[in-house]
Amino acid sequence: METNLKSRLAFVKRSPRRAIAADVTVVDGCGRELQARLWNISEGGFSAESELKMPLGATISVELPGRGKVRAQIRWVLGWRFGAMIVANEQPDRR
């Protein structure tokens, strides 16, 4: 019975998370700069805690340690904590 249950459950493999405690500035869709603290980071995203509650689905910009500036979409929210999926690296201004 247990094997049958396991075969029916969908398993989505996540990339490994690395614990981190770093203060960053998050720029929201309105251009506001908010202070946040990163809690973990992976190849595809991160979790953090912000000074304001982030809206689910919002696109933000943040400079990640060792990764540079990225755009990310808020995928889950729990109070002031949130998880975001990286959607693109920001391109440097070439003027």
77 vs 54: CA distance, rounded Å:
7
How confident is the model at residue 83, as a pLDDT? Answer: 97
Categorize the per-residue pLDDT at 94 as very low, low, confident or very high, splitting at 50, 70 and 90. very low
Taking CA atoms, 46 is separated from 20, 50, 52, 93, 95, in Å, by 10, 13, 17, 25, 31
Pick the closest to residue 40 from 58, 64, 61, 60 (CA basis): 64
The encoded tokens of residue 35 equal 């202070």
pLDDT at 15: 76
Read off the tokens for 49.
């805690």
Question: Closest Cα to residue 35, out of 21, 47, 19, 52?
Answer: 52
Query: Which DSSP helix (H) or strand (E) runs through 8?
Result: helix 2-8
Give the tens place of pLDDT for each residue, 4-38.
655 666 656 777 888 999 999 999 988 999 999 99
pLDDT tens digits for range 36-91: 999 999 999 999 999 999 999 999 999 999 889 999 999 999 999 999 999 987 66
The ranges assigned to domains in the chain are 15-89
Instruction: Tell me the CATH class for 15-89.
Output: mainly beta
pTM: predicted TM-score of the whole model, two decimal places: 0.77
